[in-house]
Structure 1
Amino acid sequence: MSTESAQRIFQLKVDPLTGNSEWVVIEEEGDGKADGDGLPPKDLLSSTSYLDMLNDSWRNRAFREAIEKTVKKPCHVLDIGAGTGLLSMMAARAMDSCDAQQNADSRGIVSACESYLPMVKLMRKVLRINGRETKFQLFPRRSDELKVGVDLATRADILVSEILDSELLGEGLIPSLQHAHDMLLVKNPLTVPYRAITYCQLVESEFLLKQHDLHNSESKVSDRVHLVPSGLETVVHVKPQQYAMHCDALSNEIKLLSEPFKVFSFDFWRRPESRGETELKIIAINDGTVHAIVSWWVLQLDYEGSIFYSTAPQWIKSPIVSSISQKQSWCDHWKQCVWFATGQGISVARDEQVLLRAVHDEMSISYRLTDKNLLSKPKYHNFCGSQLLLSPERIAVYGDTNWRLSFSTALQNAGKTCSLCIVADDSIFMTILIAQLSTTSHIISIFPGIREKVLGYESSLACCNEYHVMNFVVVQGCSRVFGDSRVDGTSTSCSLWCYLDCLILNCNYGPSFLNLRLVFCLCRKERTMFDSVLSQDVSIVPCRGILRACAMSLPDLWRSRCSLEMIEGLDHSVVNATLGACADTTTSEEGHCLPYWVWQCGEIQELSDPFIVMEFDFTRHISPCHGKSKVKFTKRGTCHGFVLWIDWVLREDNSIVLSTGPRYRFCKQGVKLLDKPVEVDSRRSGDYGTWRSAIIDAFFDPSNGEVVVRHLFESAA
């Protein structure tokens, strides 16, 4: 939601380290921070899913066909969550084409509401270029703030809306429909879409198991650190919710244990209930262990049931979904969702019944599987600490053998000799590891994300991990280190009483990596904050960060972000610059480096070996720097951009390096897409128009954390 004052935009931003959100003020015209038309800066909208959604040609076509079938005469159409106004313009155009003689005294009208102010400003530009700006009632607020007789002259006859997320309900579909039916729509209105149906499938997957069962992963590691010891299996777990994921990328690692089954149906044409539940008996089609439930939804856009849109994975073979999926291209705005089973999952045999209970509230859908062996399993012991809810990626990292071994080895000597260590990375693993390595070390752990919960958690695990809880202090941020307040409310001082011997910086940016520049910005802040209290022989882990890159073919991702012209006959070219579209000829600006799970980006291919862009030495002050590299292509193909990531050097002798490159699946990489795809070739003499190498220039400004990457392709001749 956004609200507007005289010259300001209030934008909700999320702190990528803590997960906390806050309203920040973005000035409009006259301060150099907005576009010429009063639009927000380009990077404000370039990381959103609007561009990807508008490039979804199957979605656009399906909505256009359904609207044309539904809007048969001039009437009052309401568009909730209008975005760029695409559906509103489709409805207006459908009314224009109606036989005017049929309703000579009737005049159609479209009421469009959009609460996100930056998008409202962009919508006005789209309406203007399409000659529709005077033919709409545009309301820059939520639909539940509209009133008939005040804002709307009459109730609307038709509702067109697309306020759906990957789970279906997360953008407020149910409360929006409830209010619309109660206050804004006629009785028995026509709607596009007409209905949404959710489907599920039981699956087995070791990869998905590692993302929620830390106890099982930890049992295979021999470092003596127990984040989830026996008897405390529930002390660390993922939040019970659905997680959006491109499951097609896991198709070779998933074993299907059931046929797809229908769970809930939501009719847009009638008022939905706030809560619903169902119990289903699912027949297993294979022997295995249910590690997760994969879910998706299918839209029926017209009342006759001839126009559909589906978010089903490609392996689905049902007649309707299969025919749709074959036409749809990869898109990132809607994915499948994953619900993790508890613990190590539920064992099933072929033809065995599995009982599933599904419940939905106004914003989400949850599931519970009944385990036939539940009564025979030992009960968990009680513990007097706090449970920690971590992201699936963080749990997978904590259970990764290589990751744990690397840090255990790197900190072996430092932990034994240091008298004071600061762990500045929101890491429970590093805190326990240091405390275990030395019983005499004093540890200050900075936990801006999980905060006070970690104190009770680490107290509970002190006995299991053989350390003394009095050896460490937990604070919520770097600034608290120099104060005297503790998160548990006691008066124990957190002030530094000696020079720091060991500083562990934040290098776990897997689930919270919003922008590549943030990595350097935060590491710089944490590193420089303690400069005055570092001992001469301080150990800093990681000691260096290496920015690496690789040229890649990313056709699906590039297509989803390419520039727009006509969408179903409606001009959208004015949105390209604001949304950061590739191949936008209206601007010469360098494209932003955006965060993606590269392994989930559809078709991908590496076209070069990884190369070093620049290095950062965390043992020294980080200053402005420049890196220049020549990259030679190792394969023939189409280059769509460069993928960037960090290799963390844990030891100064380079003997321990942790990479977060494209093949590492528990953190996002930064992707800089080219304005236009480029044909490349590894051969000395290639075809005309192909390129054999490229020069990469990178610049880093520590004052704002900006990393600017430029490229120049060299001829194959």
Structure 2
Amino acid sequence: MYTSSLTRRVISNTRRWAISMSSSETSEMRHLLARVNPMTGSNEWVVEDATYDYHQEIARSAYTDMLHDDERNKKYYEGIRRAIRVMHERGKKAHVLDIGTGTGLLSMMSAESGADSVHACEAFEPIAEAAKKIIAENGFADKIKVVSKRSTEVTVGPDGDIPHRANILPAEVFDTELIGEGAVPTYLHAHRHLLQEDCICVPHSATVYAQVIQSDLIWEWHKLQPIKIPGHSSVKPPAKMDACSGAASVHDIQLSQVSPEQFQPITSPLAMMDFNFSRGDFRESGLATVDADVLTEGICHGIFMWWDLSMDTEGEIRLSTAPSWAHPDGEEAQWRDHWMQAVYFFDQPLQVQKGERIHVTLSHDDYSMWFNVGHTELPKVDIERPICRCGAHVVWSRPRIGMLNDATRTGKYTQVLQKVVKKESLCVSISDGSMLPLIAARLGATQVYTLEPNSLCRRVMEDMIKSNNLIDDITVLNQNAQELPNEIFKNQKIDVLMGEPFFISSILPWHNLHFWYARTALASHLADSALILPCCARLRGVALEFEHLWKFHAPVGDIEGFDVRIFDSLVQRSSHISDAATEPHHLWEYPSRTLTADFDLTEFDFTRRVPTDTVVQKGTVEVLGDGLCHGIALWMEYQIDENTWISTGPSHPLPSPTRDLRWDRHSKQGVHFIKSNPRVTPGGKIHFEVSFNPSQGSLHFNFEVL
């Protein structure tokens, strides 16, 4: 039911210490929470309602894009109908157990299809209560019993939660990786304790598909590549980083947005492994090897993975999560974000020739999968799950590795540094895990400092510096800018203060304005003629109509004839309390159409200190396209020198209106959702107001469609 991709949507990674206190005005309980402000870098206390976490959990349980998945809903319904019919044809009563009922949808489908008894379990109490109300509202209160427990806690027997074992199990416990949300232990426990031997599960089975591919794009998300510096030695990753297996976690993306021109298939899609949920004869760990013909000469970089569900025992009702370019329905394939596709990376690239046979191995444990490929078959024993041993894949996300490998982006910084860096220059870098200090040292600077307060990031950078023989030229400091002692630079002044800017703690694009706060803290250390790179930034935006992203927030209303507005109200109310209006998203994965030209919202001058007073910027942008305004995309652009800009948004100027949007794949853009989704027409206006509060390190937006 849940997908690991949705963790990308979490807006705050706050460390919290909750202290209850009573408001004298409202007599309601409040929590005093400590958190690190990602923009200012300082610890701060925030007062929130005591029910904040409660509402956030409800809002996170919504996953309305899943409920908008018409194909999923229809095929579950038909699979349930068939399972009940089969049981009745066997002369048996149909006893249904719905695990993780959520809205109660599958239970209501079962009751409507003629099940003789229906029990539904839901562990999260607020959702369980909502399910009871929805079931009653739809007229099934006397047919469906909701058990507010995990399935592993459900008891069976005359005095138990359910009177007898079930023989039909509809469940949606899958994620992008199929088993990442615990499908394996959930089904195994159900077969041991909750189900009859001749039961039918809906879905009945799943098949995992894998395609070996060559792709520089994919590989650059996995391994740091040498940075070429014209006229100088390259900056190279340490040997242990090059040999590292990488992160163990799956990389889930919308593969439909990776065009066939961006990868080369090495094999056809391979049916790697089946999971028969009705039999439950799989293990908590397993391994399967498939021999495959090599289609073309090339390099095996990784695996594209997806899966199919067979909703019935005959295999006639199939649901595929394949990307559109491999899907039986092609471009008409159902869009979904709760199930995407996954990318797995090999330890090392493997060179292959057309016509060769290679062996592709899939391994899994309770919650994850991993793949291997080779010319010889691996032993039929457990293969170790890949684990990062170099530290880089722990501290750097895959988009960050891709950013560091972006030769165009790095080339812009290098060209600017070539103009300003001299041997005697005192250069200081303020960015997490940046290659800028190594580039500056390669260009001849012998006094380079880099601030790395994060211990994991610091270790990785120290390895990079050591392996490139730059220990004498680069000093790694473990403090942030606000903590540096006065004598840290030996009474010298900074000539070049540089940053990408990039910080691990940043979630929204403007959180990287932390560079500005750090520059302000270092003001007394700056030479009068110091160069600040970047020297300024601007926040930009464009109004968009999304093809599908709006479904994250849209109420569902009715699903296959069942009224779920109670669930909509619960989620919308909790979302209003706990969710920010602006969210981070990798917009290259979500097709959209522009409704305005791209426009400036506000600017930030890094050559000056952060101001003390709130800055408000207002403006109006003209609507150029016709459509529903789902939101405003927001991104930062940084000026490195007079002629050089780095964008974290579109990779080229935006004509308008257009669908030809090519976003920076390595950065998340902000999306300020306008949940009323107003219709706009050419000639209309959108008024905006941006408020920057320097003391709080916050940006607030107000957009009004006129």
| Fold similarity call, TM over 0.5 | yes
Q: Is 1:331 the counterpart of 2:336 in the alignment?
A: yes
Partner of 1:178, secondary structure, is helix
Partner of 2:456, secondary structure, is coil
Cα 1:674–1:452, aligned 2, differ >3 Å: closer, same or farther? closer
Distance apart, 1:306 and its partner CA: 2.2
**Greater mean alpha carbon deviation, residues 588-597 or residues 30-39:** 30-39
Question: Which aligned pairs between 1:639-650 and structure 2 lie closer than 5 A?
Answer: 639-650=629-640
Cross-structure match for 2:357 = 353
Partner of 2:325, secondary structure, is coil
Identity percentage of aligned residues: 24
The amino acid of 2:165's aligned partner reads: R
What is the alpha-carbon distance in structure 1 between the residues aligned to residue 521 and residue 57 of structure 2? Answer: 29
- Which of residues 202, 205, 214 is equivalent to 1:204? 214
The amino acid of 1:460's aligned partner reads: K
Kept in 1, the 8 Å contact 2:111–2:118? The answer is yes
Question: Which aligned pairs between 1:237-386 and structure 2 lie closer than 5 A?
Answer: 238-239=246-247, 241-253=249-261, 254-271=263-280, 272-316=282-326, 322-323=328-329, 328-349=333-354, 351-370=355-374, 386=390
Cα 1:624–1:69, aligned 2, differ >3 Å: closer, same or farther? farther
Cα 1:296–1:409, aligned 2, differ >3 Å: closer, same or farther? same
Cα 1:161–1:615, aligned 2, differ >3 Å: closer, same or farther? same
What is the alpha-carbon distance in structure 2 between the residues aligned to residue 706 and residue 141 of structure 1? Answer: 41
What is the TM-score when the length of structure 2 is the normalising length?
A: 0.78
What is the alpha-carbon distance in structure 2 between the residues aligned to residue 212 and residue 647 of structure 1? Answer: 26
Cross-structure match for 1:598 = 587
What is the alpha-carbon distance in structure 2 between the residues aligned to residue 171 and residue 268 of structure 1? Answer: 15
Question: Which aligned pairs between 1:654-669 and structure 2 lie closer than 5 A?
Answer: 655-661=644-650, 663-669=663-669
Cα 1:263–1:494, aligned 2, differ >3 Å: closer, same or farther? farther
Partner of 1:78, secondary structure, is strand
The amino acid of 1:660's aligned partner reads: G
Distance apart, 1:270 and its partner CA: 2.9
Cross-structure match for 1:568 = 560
Partner of 1:167, secondary structure, is coil
Q: Is 1:77 the counterpart of 2:77 in the alignment?
A: no
Kept in 1, the 8 Å contact 2:430–2:515? The answer is no
Cα 1:166–1:554, aligned 2, differ >3 Å: closer, same or farther? same
Cα 1:27–1:364, aligned 2, differ >3 Å: closer, same or farther? farther
Cross-structure match for 1:429 = 435
Partner of 1:291, secondary structure, is strand
Kept in 2, the 8 Å contact 1:70–1:302? The answer is yes
- Which of residues 529, 549, 555 is equivalent to 1:557? 549
Distance apart, 1:592 and its partner CA: 1.9
Distance apart, 1:51 and its partner CA: 1.3
Distance apart, 1:312 and its partner CA: 0.6
What is the alpha-carbon distance in structure 2 between the residues aligned to residue 134 and residue 120 of structure 1? Answer: 16
Kept in 2, the 8 Å contact 1:436–1:467? The answer is no
Structure 1 unaligned residues grouped into runs of 5+: 2-11, 99-106, 373-384, 484-492, 682-689
Question: Which aligned pairs between 1:435-450 and structure 2 lie closer than 5 A?
Answer: 435-436=441-442, 440-441=446-447, 443-448=449-454, 450=456
| Cα deviation 1:234-279 (Å, max 9, x = unaligned) | 1577425531111111224233332221001111123330221122
| Cα deviation 1:460-515 (Å, max 9, x = unaligned) | 3142xx4427x42353x6399559xxxxxxxxx99776587365557336x98644
Cα 1:523–1:371, aligned 2, differ >3 Å: closer, same or farther? farther
**Greater mean alpha carbon deviation, residues 277-286 or residues 252-261:** 252-261
Kept in 2, the 8 Å contact 1:169–1:364? The answer is yes
Cα 1:680–1:639, aligned 2, differ >3 Å: closer, same or farther? same
- Which of residues 472, 475, 490 is equivalent to 1:472? 475
Cα 1:455–1:284, aligned 2, differ >3 Å: closer, same or farther? closer
Kept in 1, the 8 Å contact 2:622–2:683? The answer is no
Cα 1:543–1:16, aligned 2, differ >3 Å: closer, same or farther? farther
Kept in 1, the 8 Å contact 2:508–2:668? The answer is no
Kept in 1, the 8 Å contact 2:431–2:515? The answer is no
Distance apart, 1:393 and its partner CA: 1.7
- Which of residues 608, 613, 616 is equivalent to 2:601? 613
Cross-structure match for 1:8 = none
Aligned-residue CA RMSD (Å): 4.3
Partner of 2:275, secondary structure, is strand
What is the alpha-carbon distance in structure 2 between the residues aligned to residue 579 and residue 225 of structure 1? Answer: 52
Distance apart, 1:299 and its partner CA: 0.6
Distance apart, 1:543 and its partner CA: 3.6
What is the alpha-carbon distance in structure 1 between the residues aligned to residue 311 and residue 595 of structure 2? Answer: 41
What is the alpha-carbon distance in structure 2 between the residues aligned to residue 710 and residue 165 of structure 1? Answer: 35
What is the TM-score when the length of structure 1 is the normalising length?
A: 0.77
The amino acid of 2:72's aligned partner reads: R
The amino acid of 1:281's aligned partner reads: D
Question: Which aligned pairs between 1:179-198 and structure 2 lie closer than 5 A?
Answer: 179-198=189-208
Cross-structure match for 1:684 = none
Kept in 2, the 8 Å contact 1:420–1:499? The answer is no
Cα 1:497–1:344, aligned 2, differ >3 Å: closer, same or farther? same
Cross-structure match for 1:378 = none
Distance apart, 1:646 and its partner CA: 0.9
| Cα deviation 1:588-615 (Å, max 9, x = unaligned) | 999822222212113x333433211112
| Cα deviation 1:569-625 (Å, max 9, x = unaligned) | 2222234455459xx9x98999822222212113x3334332111123344225532
What is the alpha-carbon distance in structure 2 between the residues aligned to residue 155 and residue 307 of structure 1? Answer: 26
Cross-structure match for 1:103 = none
Cross-structure match for 1:112 = 121
| Cα deviation 1:346-398 (Å, max 9, x = unaligned) | 3331x3322212211221221111158xxxxxxxxxxxx94522433222211
Q: Is 1:161 the counterpart of 2:167 in the alignment?
A: no
What is the alpha-carbon distance in structure 2 between the residues aligned to residue 44 and residue 523 of structure 1? Answer: 33
What is the alpha-carbon distance in structure 2 between the residues aligned to residue 677 and residue 505 of structure 1? Answer: 38
Aligned length: 643
What is the alpha-carbon distance in structure 2 between the residues aligned to residue 600 and residue 457 of structure 1? Answer: 34
Cα 1:42–1:698, aligned 2, differ >3 Å: closer, same or farther? farther
Distance apart, 1:297 and its partner CA: 0.3
The amino acid of 2:480's aligned partner reads: C
Q: Is 1:700 the counterpart of 2:692 in the alignment?
A: yes
The amino acid of 2:63's aligned partner reads: Y
The amino acid of 2:701's aligned partner reads: V
